[in-house]
């Protein structure tokens, strides 16, 4: 992995409350990828795969659905992968990532099983795939987000007296504790140094303010864990993730945000997967 002196020196300072977007995530790939090594582009591709995950789920329900163009794979590529796996054929990593092949194999074995939350299953496979990455910063970031997402889901499920274990995504020690512990803190407050911040965020009544606090926690994590990363790919990863948060917040006004978050609570009560954009 190389050093990106000129590229990083030219990056602007970002703040979570910025009301103007420096560039979109789609623009980022066009503007910055040409300057990155192939290995570092693959690292950032892991983030764009979240859009492909949602596109894959959309196309499984409706082959004519419009897809999010921020994904890596075209609609034709995803549909071809779906067709191949539906016919029981094999698919190479060059066509679609291996975790998608596993997912599609499982999906076409039990496509009508209402007990399977397919969004959850795809998310679990995606996280497992990302956590096998060889970049330590990336692994820590994905692990941090998986923990944040699952803790908040567990706290919300417990608050509404829902089954916690069925809502947890992934296979980590934290996931196991959330699924099995009856302790008030799931036995995790001593091992998660931002536990109190998560609990306070989860208790925030204003749902938009709640999400803002969670993103601020993510923002702070990125800053704290990249203090000594000056001209490396890790600094570009931080910029990308901060840009992603700003892009999400700019069009999200309070009224719309509260409406969306109320739908999340309703979804939890019906034991339906929380939308990916708010995880």
Q: Burial level of 248, CB count in 10 A (0-12/13-18/19+)? A: middle
Tokens for 33, please give them.
């990828």
Question: Closest Cα partner for 146 from 163, 127, 165, 159?
Answer: 127
pLDDT tops 70 at residue 180: yes
CA 226 to chain centre: 20
**pTM across the whole model:** 0.87
CA 11 to chain centre: 24
pLDDT digits (tens, 9 = 90+) for 159-175: 899 999 989 999 999 99
CA distance 174 to 34: 38
Q: How confident is the model at residue 262 (pLDDT cuts 50, 70, 90)?
A: low
CA distance 4 to 1: 9
125-147 mean pLDDT: 97
Q: How confident is the model at residue 116 (pLDDT cuts 50, 70, 90)?
A: low
pLDDT digits (tens, 9 = 90+) for 33-46: 999 999 999 999 99
| Residues in contact with 106: Cβ distance below 8 Å, sequence separation at least 6, in sequence order | 121
Number of C-alpha atoms within 13 angstroms, CB side, residue 9?
4
CA distance 143 to 126: 12
Number of C-alpha atoms within 13 angstroms, CB side, residue 226?
21
């Amino acid at each position: 992995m190389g050093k990106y002196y000129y590229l990083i020196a030219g990056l602007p300072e970002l703040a979570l409350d910025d009301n103007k977007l420096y560039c979109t995530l789609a623009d980022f790939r066009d503007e910055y990828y040409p300057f990155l090594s192939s290995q570092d582009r693959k690292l950032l591709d892991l983030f764009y795969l979240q859009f492909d995950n949602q596109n894959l789920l959309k196309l499984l329900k409706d082959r004519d659905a419009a897809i999010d163009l921020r994904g890596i794979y075209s609609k034709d590529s995803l549909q071809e992968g779906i067709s191949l796996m539906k016919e029981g054929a094999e698919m190479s990593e060059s066509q679609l990532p291996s975790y998608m092949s596993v997912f599609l194999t499982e999906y076409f074995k039990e496509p009508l099983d209402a007990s399977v939350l397919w969004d959850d299953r795809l998310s679990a496979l995606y996280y497992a795939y990302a956590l096998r990455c060889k970049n330590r910063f990336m692994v820590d970031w994905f692990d941090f987000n998986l923990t944040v997402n699952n803790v908040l889901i567990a706290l919300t499920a417990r608050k509404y007296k829902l089954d916690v274990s069925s809502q947890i995504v992934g296979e980590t020690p934290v996931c196991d504790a959330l699924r099995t512990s009856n302790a008030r803190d799931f036995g995790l407050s001593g091992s998660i140094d931002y536990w109190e911040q998560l609990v306070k965020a989860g208790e925030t009544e204003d749902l938009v303010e709640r999400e803002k606090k969670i993103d601020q926690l993510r923002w702070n994590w990125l800053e704290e864990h990249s203090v000594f990363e000056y001209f490396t790919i890790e600094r570009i990863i931080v910029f990308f993730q901060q840009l992603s948060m700003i892009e999400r917040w700019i069009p999200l006004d309070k009224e719309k945000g509260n409406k969306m978050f109320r739908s999340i609570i309703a979804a939890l009560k019906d034991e339906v997967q929380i939308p990916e954009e708010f995880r």
